[in-house]
């Protein structure tokens, strides 16, 4: 049985991602912070961690990318989860009885169109599932939470309205992180981070390596360097696995052009 760490209370969307990849038989290890997930895996208190990296509406989760650079762990797999928010409250409540709604700010923003119609007090919290837990354990009448269906099941809450998100095409990508490396599969991706010299054409030269090797980039994103103000590092995803010769050759050429490079992992592409 895999021990899997994730950020948030039981019932968080990260737990849904754990179940989607590892199954209901996984041992769940909730953590207060994203950093705690990485640290738990590093200290062998969990075999894997599951962390959110990008939402289709809100974009990249910068803290996760910073931690991927900082910690000596591998991306073992990617998981893509459809995010569907529910409004939930204590049994016996109704939409008309709700005066205050709690949830994570991003969840509240993703349900703004529905919530605006209710004319209630909106209170941001640190976690979607944590808001559901607070209402359940505190027996808070007149209060509701925006969270997952799993959270309602875990905390014994009644769903007042399902699927209240603004956009039904709302997905979050998660990474499973581990000390283990993933094996070569039929359809793989590789993620890495690199820095370039602060000279004209430096990034162009690096990207040319991928182009001449006919390697398809699926993501390129810059982040501020923590070492020097106004300098940037680049996160890249590309199709392929470093177990194949053409990709190893590209990395060797990249090492000659970049100021540093860290391989974050080669792992299976998510397939529904």
Three-class SS of 44-70: CCCCEEEEEEEECCCEECHHHHHHHHH
User: Helices in 33-190 by DSSP H: which ranges?
Assistant: 34-42, 62-70, 105-110, 112-116, 128-138, 149-155
Q: Note whether 235 and 223 are within 8 A (CB).
A: yes
Q: What is residue 185's predicted lDDT score, i.e. its pLDDT?
A: 85
Q: Tell me which of 1.10.287.610, 2.60.120.20, 3.40.50.970, 3.40.190.10 is the CATH number of domain 86-161.
A: 3.40.190.10
How far apart (Å, rounded) are the C-alpha atoms in residues 244 and 262? 18
Beta-carbon contacts of residue 199 (< 8 Å; ≥ 6 apart): none
Q: Among the options 174, 175, 194, 210, which is catalytic?
A: 174
Q: Answer yes or no: 172 catalytic.
A: yes
Q: What is residue 57's predicted lDDT score, i.e. its pLDDT?
A: 83
Q: Answer yes or no: 100 catalytic.
A: no
Could you tell me where in the chain the CATH 3.40.190.10 domains are found?
Answer: 3-83+170-176, 86-161
Supply the pTM of this predicted model. Answer: 0.91
CB atoms under 10 Å from CB of 222, counted, come to: 10
pLDDT digits (tens, 9 = 90+) for 132-168: 999 999 999 999 999 999 999 999 999 999 999 999 8
118-150 burial, b for 16+ CB within 10 Å, e for fewer? bebebeebebbbbbbbbbbeeebeebbbbbbbb
Q: Which two tokens stand for residue 150?
A: 């799993």
Q: Which two tokens stand for residue 140?
A: 């808070």
State in words which class domain 3-83+170-176 has.
alpha beta
Length of the chain in terms of residues written: 272
Could you tell me where in the chain the CATH 3.30.70.260 domains are found?
Answer: 189-264
Q: Note whether 215 and 238 are within 8 A (CB).
A: yes
Q: What is residue 272's predicted lDDT score, i.e. its pLDDT?
A: 66
For the chain, what percent of residues have pLDDT higher than 70? 100
CB atoms under 10 Å from CB of 94, counted, come to: 9
Q: What is residue 59's predicted lDDT score, i.e. its pLDDT?
A: 86
pLDDT along the chain (272 residues), means of 10: 93 96 95 97 98 90 94 97 97 96 94 94 94 97 97 98 94 97 90 90 91 94 84 92 90 92 95 74
Sheet strands (E) in 83-231: 86-89, 100-103, 121-124, 143-147, 158-161, 171-178, 188-195, 217-224
pLDDT digits (tens, 9 = 90+) for 53-82: 999 888 889 999 999 999 999 999 999 999
Q: Among the options 172, 175, 190, 194, which is catalytic?
A: 172
Q: Tell me which of 3.40.50.1980, 3.40.50.80, 3.30.70.260, 3.30.479.10 is the CATH number of domain 189-264.
A: 3.30.70.260
How far apart (Å, rounded) are the C-alpha atoms in residues 230 and 32? 31
């Amino acid at each position: 049985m895999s021990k899997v760490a994730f950020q948030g209370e039981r019932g968080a969307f990260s737990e849904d991602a754990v179940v989607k990849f590892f199954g209901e038989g996984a041992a769940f290890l909730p953590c207060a912070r994203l950093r705690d997930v990485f640290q738990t895996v590093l200290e062998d208190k969990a075999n894997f961690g599951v962390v959110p990296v990008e939402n289709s509406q809100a974009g990249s989760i910068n803290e996760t990318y910073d931690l991927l650079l900082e910690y000596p762990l591998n991306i073992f797999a990617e998981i893509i989860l459809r995010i569907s928010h529910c409004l939930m409250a204590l049994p016996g409540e109704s939409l008309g009885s709700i005066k205050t709604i709690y949830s994570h700010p991003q969840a509240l923003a993703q349900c703004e169109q529905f919530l605006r119609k209710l004319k209630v007090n909106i209170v941001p919290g640190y976690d979607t599932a944590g808001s559901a837990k607070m209402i359940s354990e505190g027996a808070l009448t007149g209060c509701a939470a925006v969270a997952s269906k799993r959270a309602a099941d875990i905390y014994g809450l009644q769903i007042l309205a399902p699927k209240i998100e603004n956009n039904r095409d709302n997905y979050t990508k998660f990474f499973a992180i581990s000390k283990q490396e993933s094996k070569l599969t039929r359809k793989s991706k590789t993620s890495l981070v690199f820095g370039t010299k602060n000279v004209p054409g430096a990034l162009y030269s690096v990207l040319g390596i991928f182009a001449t090797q006919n390697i398809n980039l699926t993501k390129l994103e810059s982040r501020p360097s923590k070492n020097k103000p106004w300098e940037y590092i680049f996160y890249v995803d590309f199709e392929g696995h470093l177990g194949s010769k053409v990709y190893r050759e590209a990395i060797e050429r990249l090492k000659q052009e970049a100021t540093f490079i860290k391989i974050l992992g080669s792992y299976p592409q998510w397939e529904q």
